[in-house]
Each structure stands twice: as C-alpha cells, then as structure tokens.
Amino acid sequence: MGSRPKLTRQRRMEILEAAVEMIVERGLPETRVADVAERAGTSAALVLYYFDSKDRLLTEALSYVEDRFYLQAFHDLTGIDSASERLAVLIARSCPPSGGDANGDWRLWFELWTRALRDPETARKRAALDRRWRATIADVVRDGQRSGEFASVDADDLALELASLIDGLAIQVVLEDPEVGPDRMRRICLEAAGRALEIDLSAFVPAPSTMTAPRTARAHVSAAEE
C-alpha cells in the first residue's frame, strides 16, 4: 500500500489546515466546502475528492487539531523538572490571549462541545482527549507530591477541578467578558491550585515573552484514538 502518496499527503494537510481556519472563522456548521477550497487555493470538487463528504472533512479536521493540541501541550511541558513550574506553565499556556487574534484553539473547543452534544463519535473522541489532558495534570500533581512540593490531596480530583476551572474561565476570556481577562484568569487558577496544594505558585509563572505558542507543531501522528 501507499506507493507514492507524497502529494496526496501534502494536499490533504493543506486542505485540513484550511478547514481548521475556516471553522475558527465561520463556525463548524456554517463552514462550506467552497470556503475551505478557496482558502486552500483549489476547487470545491477537489476537497470532495480527498474527503468524500463535508461531514468527513470536518470530522478529520477536528481530529487533526486534537492531535496537534495534545502534542503541543506535551512538548511545552518536557524539559521542565520542577513540578511547581510545570504546573505553572501548564496553567499559563491554557490562558487564551486577550485579543481575538490567536485564541483559535479555544474557539475550536467550543465548536467541538456543541457538536459532541449530538454526534456520539465526536463525544467519544472529546472525552478521550479530556481524560488524557486531566491525566497529564494529575501526573504533574503526583510528581510534586512525591518530591514534597505539594500537599497530599487526591490528584485525580484536583486535576478535574483544575481542568474544569480552566475551561470555565477560558469561556469568559474568549468571549471577551470585560471583567475577565487572561491575567485575572491566570491569577485565579494559580490561587486555586496553590490553595489546594498549600504552596504559592505565583513565583513559578514563566516569563510572558516565551509564552506565545512556537507555531506549527507539525504533528506526524494520526488520530490517537483511545
């Protein structure tokens, strides 16, 4: 199998990338194949040629970003050994930027959630992704407890609490509630985590200069599945 699918791969990627952009801009249900085609610089027919239907296109686009997100998160966390710092970084990179510029990832989660309400397949994948994410947090917590940095609380409960707190706050930030900006979001998350773990995390927050995401993770894995 797979004799010379070089160009095919490339094209599929380009189209997926275009699809993601369009979904962020126009929303999942109102994204038209023609939009994606135009953004990718080709014809609508080609898009349907690679992905048999609009629905499959959108589904693959969502899996694509899910993979990308998790790899990015994983990447950002490796190389840091202090559990406190890992937790602080994890929180910091979860805060959507203030301007309506690059919070595209969060916008995608919104779309994912509403789609998951009706599409069981999406629901399954989303739940799996979120479990992995919470497990990552829980691991950091356990690390810190082993090293004595953190107090002893149930790591899974705290992971769920933190992940949920982040989600809920991100909603406000992304929707530009004037009372809730990224700074306040970060502070509240750090305080909540610190309160539970009995530690002051504010000292571990990374310099904001390196905070902007390192662009293009170029994920070479396909749908991780559970």
Which of 60/130 has CB closer to its own copies? Answer: 130
* Closest residue by Cα to residue 162 from 202, 208, 210, 196: 196
Q: How far is the CB of 2 from its own copies (least distance, A)?
A: 36
* Closest residue by Cα to residue 203 from 94, 87, 97, 93: 87
Q: How far apart, in whole angstroms, are the C-alpha atoms of residue 182 and residue 185?
A: 5
Q: How far is the CB of 129 from its own copies (least distance, A)?
A: 11
* Closest residue by Cα to residue 76 from 211, 225, 219: 211
Is residue 50 within 8 Å of residue 11, measured between CB atoms? yes
Structure token pair of residue 74: 């994983």
CA-to-CA dists, residue 145 to 70, 142, 158, 194, angstroms: 24, 5, 12, 13
* Binding-site ranges for DNA (CB under 7 A): 3-5, 7-8, 11, 31-34, 42-46, 48-49, 52-55
180 makes contact, choosing from its own copies, DNA, none, with CB < 5 to 8 Å by partner type, with its own copies
Q: How far is the CB of 195 from its own copies (least distance, A)?
A: 6
Which of 47/163 has CB closer to its own copies? Answer: 163
Contact status: 90 vs its own copies (CB under 8 A): no
4 makes contact, choosing from DNA, its own copies, none, with CB < 5 to 8 Å by partner type, with DNA
Site string for its own copies, 99-128 (x = CB under 8 A): --------x--xx-xx-xxx----x--xx-
Q: How far apart, in whole angstroms, are the C-alpha atoms of residue 43 and residue 166?
A: 40
Is residue 62 within 8 Å of residue 122, measured between CB atoms? yes
Q: How far apart, in whole angstroms, are the C-alpha atoms of residue 124 and residue 189?
A: 27
200 makes contact, choosing from its own copies, DNA, none, with CB < 5 to 8 Å by partner type, with none
For tokens 């694509």, what's the residue?
A: 64
Which of 5/198 has CB closer to its own copies? Answer: 198
Q: How far is the CB of 38 from DNA (least distance, A)?
A: 10
Q: How far is the CB of 28 from its own copies (least distance, A)?
A: 8
Binding positions for its own copies, rule: CB under 8 A: 26-30, 107, 110-111, 113-114, 116-118, 123, 126-127, 130-131, 157, 160-161, 163-169, 171-172, 174-180, 184, 188, 191-192, 195-196
